[in-house]
Structure 1
Amino acid sequence: MHTNLNIVALDAVAVRTSVELATHAKPADLARPTPCVGWTLHGLLAHMATQHYGFAAASRGESDLALWKLRPLGDDPVGAYRASAEHVLAAFAGDGVLTRDFPLPEFTAAQIFPARQAIGFHFIDYVVHSWDVARTLDLPLSFTQDVLDAALPIAQAVPTGAYREAPGAAFAPEVPWTGGTTLDRILALLGRDPAWTAPHA
């Protein structure tokens, strides 16, 4: 990776960026559509929070698929999202975490993943989800170039093919895109249209 930050620090940047963006959401914003087809902002935050708890469990070696079941956000969705983010950041900051293997049963039960690879999956997800939240709320998003340079090869390594068209796929098929920023390239590789904007009533 072309960066002085390790994967845990990179992931923390992406997650904290998503939290900062989410704190701008007002109750009425939770019904807004997002770049994730079929998801409102509330649905996206619920998914993101659930993934945080799932990855935190994986960092402890827990392989129960039930831990990845969608969690309700309760009466304070943004607060619940913030709590989930702090939970996974604390888990990833634990002693020895980078020496562990992570079971990721939501992805596959056939293998476990080295910590750096698993946290890399989480990192790229929250680079993209930060953009999702920013675009939903019409907010600017700025990652430093070293973060984007670390994210790009992870995005390039995500498999393509028919699985991306399956229900519940982590990423949609790649979007044709030329030019633009490193973030635009990452988004297009992972099935986001960098030109997407929130529809206005």
Structure 2
Amino acid sequence: MLRSVDAVDAVTASDLDRPTPCAGWTLADLLAHMTVQHRGFAAAARGRGADESAWDVTTVADAVHADPAGTYAAAARAVLDAFAADGIAEATFALPEFGPNATFPGTLAIGFHLVDYAVHGWDVAAALGASYELPDDVIAAVLPLVMAIPDGDFRDSAVSPFDRAVNASAATDFDKVLLYLGRRPDWRRTSHP
């Protein structure tokens, strides 16, 4: 997650209208999503995840526009602090984005969040035309979580968090992650010089 903070730290207000690998989202949209997800997962870790206002992206949009890096870093610190609590792996996380009354064990919920931030950090870097490197142990932890996510027709739905897997050669394990989640590792070079 700290690598995503580093990636966002390079964002300025003039970058917020840039397109991202997330179809239809500008960098401002992506950062608002990432920020509110940190806040929502922090609330879930503290037993307040069922409160849908914790997941309302409109509550962070103005702050992201005013101070993209600072707003994001504060939300990342909040979720890291929440995840550091004793017994968090055994806690029950309410995650309403998965459906009414959806709950998950802490370990699984934290895994969901890890996948999101490994990939969204790359999305930010790609939008900026910057490089993005994750430690090998993080990639090794993320890859099996990603490969357990089903692929299929439901990924064509507007509510699906991922596009269909891309059938292409992967040079690295992180490329496999990106491709399986519907991204193209060469997005910045082929789509946006």
TM-score by length of 2: 0.91
Paired residue type of 1:31: D
Aligned residue among 61, 65, 90 for 1:72: 61
The alpha-carbon deviation at position 168 of structure 1 amounts to: 3.0
Alpha-carbon distance in 2 for matches of 1:161, 1:199: 28
Unaligned runs of 5+ in 1: 1-14
Higher mean Cα deviation, 60-69 or 111-120?
Answer: 60-69
How far off is 1:110 after superposition? 4.7
Percent of residue pairs bearing the same amino acid type: 44
Unaligned segments of structure 2, at least 5 residues:
none
Kindly indicate which of the two structures has a greater share of residues assigned to helix.
2
Equivalenced residue count is 186
Structure 2 distance, partners of 1:140, 1:171, is 22
Residue 34 (str. 1) matches residue 34 (str. 2): no
8 Å contact 1:34–1:133 — kept in the other structure? yes
Counterpart CA distance in 2 for 1:56 and 1:145 is 26
Contact 2:13 2:67 in 1 (8 A): no
If asked which structure has higher relative contact order (CA below 8 Å, sep 6+), I would say 1
CA distance in 1: counterparts of 2:47 and 2:151, whole angstroms? 28
Pairing 1:184–2:170 present: no
Q: What is the deviation of 1:45?
A: 0.4
Q: Which amino acid aligns with 1:140?
A: S
Match of 1:48 in 2: 34
Alignment match, 2:159: 168
Superposed CA RMSD: 1.3
The answer for the alignment partner of 2:146 in structure 1 is 155
SS in 2 for 1:31: coil
Deviations for 1:81-140, whole angstroms, at most 9, x for unmatched residues?
Answer: 111111111111112211201111111225411111000000000010011011111111
Indicate conservation of the 8 Å contact 2:94/2:101, yes or no.
no
Instruction: Report the TM-score, using the length of structure 1 for normalisation.
Output: 0.88
